[in-house]
Amino acid sequence: MNREDFPILSNNLVYLDNGATTLKPKVVIDKITEYYSSYSANAHRGDYDISLKVDNEYEKTRDLVKKFINASSRKEIIFTSGTTESINMIAFGFFKDYLEENEEIIITKSEHASNVIPWFKIAKDNKLIIKYIDLDDNYEVTIDNLKKIITPKTRVISLAGITNVLGDLRPLKDIIKTAHENNILVVVDGAQYVPHTKVDVRALDIDFLAFSAHKMCGPTGVGILYGKENLLEKLAPHNYGGGMNESFDNLNEVYLKPLPTRLEAGTPNIAGVIGFGATIEYLNSIGLSNIRKYEHELGKYLFDNLSKIRHITIVNKKPSSIIAFNIDGIFSQDVAVYLNKYGICVRAGNHCAKILKDEVGVKNTVRVSLYFYNTKEEIDKIIDLLKDKNKILNEML
Amino acid sequence: MKCCDTMDSETKREIIMEHYTNPLNRDTIDDPKYIKINSNSETCIDNLDIYVLFNNNIIEDIHFNGEACAISTSAASIMTRLLKNKTIKEVKELINEYKDMIETGKEYDRLEEALVYSDIYKQQNRKGCAIIPWLGIEKAIAEYEKAK
Ligand SMILES: Cc1ncc(COP(=O)(O)O)c(C=O)c1O
């Protein structure tokens, strides 16, 4: 759908690496260009017209994000540089103080590095324990397996809403309900989740949510940290400096501004944040439920057709808009190089989920990740190229 | 194998594929006399372990193992044969010539079978793959010389 909105698609690029980042529609590009060409002032500073315009546009994005995920208050929406920074702020700014020796953090083996390594680090520093929810035969998280590992020492569960290797959607509603019954907080890595399905932080009762604009047709270098207000109030800033202080005279008298500004020191990525506002309006105009439905169909089409090819082993046990597979006897990177010769972009590797290999037994795969602007014709094209193993062997070098 | 004024690209392809499907010296060595080096790169997902046995400034034996693409697997295979029984001094020269060929396409006769990669400089996304095993040898030599 909506292919004509994307200038980059006018030259027949087949872009199937949407898990890594997504393409940008013209409305977003134009919005960013407009900022740089007609009102490129700083935010929260000036008393002149173009600076006021910056403030208005910047804060409008905050309102749009609040509505987009159904947060209660603008104070709960913090602009960051991306999912990675958001999760680091959550782990180091909040949980490092909150967790005590021998308390437990629960994650899974199919998390992205950005939702693993920050927890490893605070676990090491504070002598905490990391536990993994066992994945079932479909490599998915189930409530039963979660319940098995919860103990009175468990204080936080951090997991992706949708994973970046297999695209499975976690049963967040039940997970969060179970967690809260046990006084456990839940952090949701929304990098692959928020772009692909309607998210309602209040209905799900999510405690913290992190996501990136660039994975949902927005600019790079912008992300969101959502947290319930009472939790964010306790989150210590990792940056101190301009913009976030109320006043300072000496060592003992630095007064910080209230949320959300307290957590946004320094000149932010203004162009990016403003562009992200246009991104959300754009996605709203298509409708997240339409996106989900369309991707679901496309994912099934891809899965069914890949399944028919005998020399292909798919890691996923069921259809998904992210499919990981291998061609028997050919290294994933060689497959990616081969497809690149036909203008097709796919990813080869471990997709930053290095501990998933313990579960699925393969380290590297080819990954196709779809978004709403992909089409059945594009899938036909890749299926056609993958069908003939001799052709791959002949052309992959 | 002795080659080659200029190999045509089909011959090059065949040699690379032969080394990819039936690599030489591909196994894991569990012998403390060998120096073990892990060689990988930031830009590509190849990950090779290289095992080198030195004796009196000569490379007596090389093996490798790991998960890697056709280019780096074959490059490792070819390298194990080419560098065996050469002195460290010779190997250092060969490493420099090999690197230069990968960057510029310049062919050095002494690289023999490794000349199959003389066109790689045209493929930005493959240069790293071809160089990985050779970086491993470079590191192994550094370790050997440091330990002496
Ligand atoms: C599930 C998941 N979490 C976190 C990240 C990190 O996002 P970013 O690089 O935008 O910070 C990614 C991106 O690949 C991801 O897929």
* Measured distance CA(B63)–CA(A29) in Å, rounded: 52
For residue A23, give the 3-state DSSP assignment. Answer: coil
- The predicted pLDDT at position A285 comes to 98
Looking at the structure, do residues A301 and A224 belong to the same domain, yes or no?
no
Q: How far apart are CA A280 and CA A8, in angstroms?
A: 19
| A222 lies in the same domain as A364 | no
**With 90 as the cut, is the pLDDT of residue A47 above it?**
no
Residue B131 pLDDT exceeds 80: yes
Residues of A whose CB is below 8 A from B49? none
Domains with residue ranges and CATH for chain B: 9-147 (3.90.1010.10)
Tell which of A258, A285, A312 closes a domain.
A285
Name the pLDDT band for B55 (thresholds 50, 70, 90).
Answer: very high
* pTM score over 0.95: no
Instruction: Report the candidate in A112, A357, A176 with the shortest Cα–Cα distance to residue B47.
Output: A357
The mean pLDDT value for B131-147 works out to 94
Q: Where does a domain end: A233, A252, A285?
A: A285
d(CA A265, CA A395): 51
CATH classification of the domain holding A32: 3.40.640.10
A371 and A40 Cβ atoms separated by less than 8 Å? no
- Pair (A230, A271) in one structural domain: yes
pLDDT tens per residue, range A275-326:
999 999 999 999 999 999 999 999 999 999 999 999 999 999 999 999 999 9
pLDDT at B67: 83
Q: Which atom of ligand 1 is nearest to the CA of A111?
A: 1
Q: Looking at the predicted structure, is the pLDDT value of residue B43 above 70?
A: no
pLDDT classification of A360: cutoffs 50, 70, 90: confident
Q: Are residues A56 and A102 in the same domain?
A: yes
Does the structure show a pLDDT above 70 at A164?
yes
pLDDT at residue A71 greater than cutoff 60: yes
Residue by residue, what is the 3-state secondary structure of A179-213?
Answer: HHHCCCEEEEECCCCCCCCCCCHHHHCCCEEEEEH
Left (φ > 0), alpha (ψ -120 to 50) or beta: where does A5 sit? alpha
Q: Please say whether the beta carbons of A175 and A2 come within 8 A.
A: no
Provide the number of structural domains found in chain A: 2
Contact (CB<8Å) B69/A397 = no
Q: Are B143 and B37 in contact (CB under 8 A)?
A: yes
What pLDDT digit, counting tens, does each position of A362-381 carry?
Answer: 788 999 999 999 999 999 99
The count of CB pairs under 8 A between chains A and B is 32
Q: Give the CATH number, domain containing residue A370.
A: 3.90.1150.10
With 80 as the cut, is the pLDDT of residue A180 above it?
yes
Domain final residue, candidates A232, A253, A285: A285
How far apart CA A1 and CA A25 sit, in angstroms, is: 12
Nearest to B125 among A337, A393, A394 (CB): A337
β-partners of residue A355 are none
Do A247 and A277 lie in a common domain? yes
Q: Check whether residue A291 and residue A281 sit in a common domain.
A: no
CA quadruple B60, B63, B68, B71: dihedral, nearest 10? 40
On whether both A251 and A343 belong to a single domain, the answer is no
- The pLDDT-based confidence of A258 (bands split at 50, 70, 90) is confident
Complex-level ipTM = 0.78
Spacing, Cα A307 to ligand 1 middle (Å): 28
Q: By residue range, what is the domain housing residue A337? A: 3-23+287-396
Whether A65 and A211 map to the same domain: the answer is: yes
**Minimum mean pLDDT among A255-269, A321-335, B46-60: which range?**
A255-269
Inter-chain residue contact A333 with B73, CB threshold 8 Å: no
B108-127: pLDDT as tens digits: 999 999 999 999 999 988 89
- Give yes or no for a cis peptide into A260 (omega within 30° of 0): yes
Between the CA of B70 and the centroid of ligand 1 the distance, in Å, is: 29
Per DSSP, the three-state class of A246 is: strand
- pLDDT the model gives residue B1: 45
User: For the purposes of burial, counting CB atoms within 10 Å of the CB of B99, is it exposed (0-12), middle (13-18) or buried (19 or more)?
Assistant: middle
B5 or B31: whose pLDDT is higher? B31
Give me the helices (H) in A95-195, please: 96-98, 117-126, 143-149, 172-181
